[in-house]
Amino acid sequence: MKIRFQADADLNEDIISGLLRREPRIDFRTATAANLRGLSDPEVLAAAAAEARILVSHDRKTLPHKFAAFIRTQTSPGVFIISQKTDLLLAIEGLLLAWAASEAEEWTNRICTIPL
């Protein structure tokens, strides 16, 4: 199955726009479209998991710990963390590479940083 992405509320939406300009077939849902604004990290992880979407976030501080706790009791499609200092083009290229070169199942219960 192809990767489907879910942005959390803090993700720079220029990344989503740029990625979709490069590859319009990518399924990348915004936090607004998923009604994630104001939810806690565990609630956001659960919402992404319910829709089989890899969560994409800038939150390097708290999300990895919440993710570790989440996968102790539930399965996650995975999490991609992008530093806010990462160049937008590198972030877009990293997500595009992951989407093009892998299947969603390869990321189950994994967390990684983009660029890969």
For residue 72, give Cα distances in angstroms to 3, 43, 65, 69, 94. Answer: 22, 15, 11, 5, 27
Fold of 4-114: Rossmann fold (3.40.50)
pTM: 0.96
Q: For the segment 76-92, what is each residue's pLDDT rounded down to a tens digit?
A: 999 999 999 999 999 99
Delimit the domains of the chain by residue range: 4-114
Residues of the chain with pLDDT under 50: none
Report pLDDT for 116. 75
Q: Which of 43, 25, 21, 24 is nearest to 34 (CA)?
A: 43
Q: How far apart are CA 21 and CA 86, in angstroms?
A: 19
Q: Are 29 and 5 in contact (CB under 8 A)?
A: yes
